[in-house]
Structure 1
Amino acid sequence: MGVNSSYLSKTEVQAILGVTSFGLWRLTRKYDDFPQPTEPPEPFGLPGDRKEPDEVWHGTQLYRWAARTPEFSHRGAVLLRPLPHDLGPGHWVGYKDTPRGPAQDWHTVLGTIRFVHSHKRKAATDVATALARGGNPDDVRTVCALYGDVGISGPALVAAEVAHPRIEYEAEWGDVAALAGQALPWWPERLRLPELIRAWKPGSPAAVVEVPPNANEQILRRVARTPVFDVTSHLAVTDMANSIRNNRTDNVKNENDTFAGAGPHEAPNRILVAAVPDTSHHPLRTGGDRTALKAGWHKLALSNHPDAVAALEVAIGREPDLLPYGAVTEAPGRPGTVMERWARRLTMCDPTAAHAVLARGDAVDSFFIDPLTDMPALRTTGENGKPAWRFYAPLSLPAGGAELASVVLHHTVWITTSDGQVHPAPCTPSEHLWWGDGWGDRPTEAAAVIDTLLGNLGATVNMREHWKAPKGLTVLLNEDHKHGTELTRATLLHARMTPPRTR
């Protein structure tokens, strides 16, 4: 997406403008707005070049300047030059396959314009370069590609000439439409399919197309058809797959409305929406009972089937609140720490889908389960090659009449209880617990969790308004405590009741 940056040597600038070294020297004095040279970027030049130039010019700036300067407009960017007063009618030439996707050719008074329906970076340059190297059999002068945003007169464009394919510049949809003599077809990204663009001709109605599924939806639909999983899990993955499909269909509708809407002067853009989503079954049913959905995902998390792993990865990235696990935490496995006390309680087990997702493809020594919270854990090799523990934080702790006895700060927040247990502090999947100076941020998440557990050890933490945590606890946790620091219940209660000092 965007305009590719290119740089020109002094020799290349002279060749584009058709001037000598002395002529280039004169231009810098004749035109106050002549682009200034800059230092060459790293790396610059071709492999084997002995010496880099002392200075270079930004290709887009120079090409744009030339197009808008009467003396050199015939050497500048084609689509930035003043349009001819008497525009002859352009016409559609046909569909073309290109190295960067489907394209339409339009013959105009300025030559043939190849319109590539892609917003990938360097799309215009790559297609123009391929034409230049292949002898340009279709006599294409300019290649246009999509910028990926809305411009003044329609979708924003990036252009590159076959004569100078490295130089890209922004062009106006309205100018290309004026040269073509008609509104131009445009396909929303998810319906930008080669078979649709190949079939289009002037006068074709907008194609009504089912929005193709993305990889996540395909995974979930596959799981929904796998008989090894029960009906509860089938319902859970189907609900999420339907939600993905609904979102994608709505996004296509919104994209069409955005790009085909009126310009800044409320004049209709010269754009033909060439494809619309099939909404005959839209929206699909979603929003099933949350308890049932969570039960289905929990069963998948306990499975050892490969498809369950793939589905779980989708759910964690899309709606982790449906899973019974909190935030992922990793800490070094050092002896004599609070973590060692916790690890002694873990039970070794066979890996489940939840373990596989937790592993993230890393080598794992052993898999475990916490028998008190049912949280999966594993032992792996950390970034420094040293053993580390990785686990899901629980969403709540088993109470059983106990209360919070102390908090230990060791790479995350740990809770010790009055009945002698130790747990990672509960944390929602989208948050993390920390302490110390946060460079202007405050550890309100940890303060909110501690505040909740001081009142009810078994409470399910809710961190939607963690910034409302008691100021005294936040101030205490904002201090740079060393790893292993233990804060007693008395210390925490006192901090919670103590208002922060005013400066």
Structure 2
Amino acid sequence: MGKIRPGRDAVALFNKGKEQDRKPGYEPLLLRLPGEGTAEFDQAEVVRGYAVLRWETPAGGIGLVHSLRDGNAYPRSVIDALYGRHGERLASRYACVVVAQAGTQVSEPYVPRLLALDVLPGLKLSKQYEPTWKHLAATVGMRAPYWFASLRDRETIAAWRPGTPPAIVPACHVTNRIDALVELAADEPDGSPAVRLCWSLAREIRARDHKSVTRDIQELQDNAADSGDGAHLVLGAVPAALRRPDEAPLPEVVRRAGWLSITERRDVLAHRVAALAQRWDGGQDWHTGDAVVVRPDECATAREWAQRLRPVTRDQAPTVLEQELLTNARDTETDELLHDPVTGVPAIRRRKRWSHDEPEDIFTLALQRLPTTSPLAALTVSDHTPWIRTQDGTLWPAPARSGYGISWGYNGTGNHTLARLVDKLLDDISAPAVTPREPNPAQGLVDLLRTTPQDGTTTYNRAQLLAARAG
């Protein structure tokens, strides 16, 4: 078997590592009875987003790992990172790497799981196994510390020593750090929608994480009081008290105005805040919603829309919305970035890759509501894209929220969603895109769209839609 090398070779080795466990008599290190001698805590090191606490034991070095990037991590990824730092000296430094998880043991109310791998002579790896905290405590000679994912502060983990009391850390999950929210708010004028949005979201995240980790700690302490496995660990940190009372939710109009200003920005802070929003709630309060793929070669309506697009130069950093599209582009170097001057939304024209006969694709984002007072004049459905034309002649991709697709030509959710949208837009052209909790649409509209062919192009004018709704 080969030795560990970072990257692709390490992955190949990990697969081979299972061979060691087929040999008779091998017992995972943390599951053995402790040998003679004294275990001592050595130090902490941080490598590639992993905080590793190391003990020197008679069986070799034991590393307890907490991920600083996610609630969970896998020992193989940690060993790869450690090899990148220690190279051939890895086996002499670590005989076992055990990773603390945010997930729980199946048999316990809340006792974090542990996943472990042993590093064997010749830089071979054992099969992954699951020790208990009792196993770990017996091996390192003390109760090892655990940091909940909402309390993983890099400096306090690195500073931990045996006997250190739990640090008091503001609750904030490692995947939803609020630093960018605070920094963006610090640069904005007082009272602006962006400031109000950032502070509101930061406090909401902090409050939810505080509530969640407080509940989990209580469950862990109850388990320890009942002599469960939780009795064999100590808390590395507890949440700092919340010093502000709960606030009323920020009005939707303020949230949407705040996101509108942020998604138009090009700076790094705006991109970081937007990324947090996507992880937090999928950007549900952005003015844009579902992705739309338009094929001008296949549809005259799409071709009409595409003709109003304007090219965007690449001589400046992309806006938040432009970056959303570029992230999903096939080729960011050759795909053409465009701008819709009517909706204010970017688009990408994807270059043909294989032949001149290949359809041209334009990738864009639907709005969540149309910024117009002109009434609905017609609905056109063509090439899997519904279009709204208003009485002033403007053409719009139909409003759609991310995750709630709209369609026609069958008796399913997408058809009902489109029927409900048309039902709303007939009365109020600026009505928001449909959510799952809204009332059922008029049955006449459902039936009309259900029997509409999916192939080709079909247009219904306002009179036809009103008649279907009334019928």
Q: TM-score, normalising length from structure 2?
A: 0.71
In 2 relative to 1, CA 447–345 (structure 1 residues): closer, same or farther, beyond 3 Å? same
Q: 1:102 Cα shift?
A: 1.9
Q: Deviations over 1:333-389 (max 9, x none)?
A: 33861133345667899999465355436554542321xxxx213453226353626
Residue of structure 2 aligned with 1:408, choices 381, 384, 392 = 381
Alignment of 1:50-89 (within 5 A): 58-59=18-19, 62=22, 66=24, 72=25, 75-81=26-32, 83=33
SS of the residue 1:279 aligns to:
coil
CA contact (8 A) 2:82 2:90 kept: no
> What's the offset of the Cα at 1:133?
3.4
1:232-289 Cα offsets, whole Å, 9 max, x none, are: 4322222223333334444544454455551797635311112112225366867334
2:197 partner SS: helix
Counterpart of 2:43 (choices 88, 92, 95) is 95
- 1:170 alignment partner, one of 124, 130, 147: 130
The question of whether the paired residues in 2 share the 8 Å contact of 1:448 and 1:463 is answered with no
Please give the per-residue CA displacement for 1:101-149, whole angstroms capped at 9, x wherever unaligned: 32231636xx3461322353215755897889328556x6544333543
Output the CA distance in 2 between the equivalents of 1:116 and 1:107: 13
Give the Cα–Cα distance (whole angstroms) in 1 for the partners of residues 231 and 20 of structure 2: 26
C-alpha distance in structure 2 between counterparts of 1:430 and 1:287, whole Å: 24
Could you tell me how far apart the structure 2 residues matched to 1:345 and 1:335 are?
17
Matched ranges for 1:103-118 at <5 A: 103-105=53-55, 107=57, 111-112=59-60, 114-118=62-66
Cα distance change on mapping 1:260 and 1:145 into 2, 3 Å: farther
CA contact (8 A) 1:377 1:389 kept: no
Q: Quote the Cα distance in structure 2 between the aligned partners of 1:157 and 1:347.
A: 54
The answer for the alignment partner of 2:161 in structure 1 is 201
AA partner of residue 304 (structure 2): R
Q: Given the alignment of the two structures, is residue 225 of structure 1 paired with residue 186 of structure 2, yes or no?
A: yes
1:290-369 alignment to 2 at 5 Å? 290-301=252-263, 307-308=269-270, 311-312=273-274, 314-315=276-277, 318=280, 320-334=283-297, 337-342=300-305, 353=319, 356-357=322-323, 359-360=325-326, 362=332, 363-369=335-341
Match of 1:270 in 2: 232
Change (3 A) 1:244 1:384: farther
Counterpart for residue 52 of structure 1: none
SS at match of 1:171: coil
Residues in 2 aligned to 1:161 and 1:95: alpha-carbon distance in whole angstroms: 19
CA contact (8 A) 1:313 1:357 kept: no
What is the rounded CA distance, in whole Å, between the counterparts of 1:226 and 1:468 in structure 2? Answer: 45
Query: Structure 1 residue 238 and structure 2 residue 226: aligned?
Result: no
Q: Is contact 1:355–1:367 with CA below 8 Å preserved after alignment?
A: no
In structure 2, what residue type is equivalent to 1:156?
A: R
- The gaps in structure 2 that reach 5 residues or longer are 3-8, 67-71, 354-359
Deviations 1:380-432 (A, max 9, x none): 322635362624325146454x4544433343211235665433222235533
Q: Does 1:452 align with 2:452?
A: no
Q: Which position in structure 2 is the counterpart of 1:422?
A: 395
User: What secondary structure does 1:237 align onto?
Assistant: helix
CA pair 407-399 structure 1, distance change in 2 beyond 3 A = farther
Q: Name structure 1 gaps, 5 residues minimum.
A: 1-7, 10-41, 47-55, 67-71, 499-503
1:462 and 1:60, CA in 2 relative to 1: closer, same or farther beyond 3 A? farther
Q: In structure 2, do the counterparts of structure 1 residues 461 and 356 end up closer, same or farther at CA, with 3 Å as the change threshold?
A: closer
The count of aligned residue pairs is 429
Bigger radius of gyration: 1
Change (3 A) 1:495 1:294: closer
Give me the CA root mean square deviation: 4.6
**In structure 1, what is the Cα distance between the partners aligned to 2:429 and 2:114?**
58
CA contact (8 A) 1:397 1:458 kept: yes
Deviations 1:74-116 (A, max 9, x none): x3323345x48xx9796543325376532231636xx346132
Amino acid at match of 1:238: W
Q: Deviations over 1:321-340 (max 9, x none)?
A: 43334434231233861133
Alignment of 1:388 onto 2:388: no
Structure with bigger RCO (C-alpha 8 Å, 6+ apart): 2
Measure how far apart 1:311 and its partner are.
Answer: 4.2
Q: 1:315 to 1:209 in 2, by over 3 A?
A: closer
Match of 1:133 in 2: 88
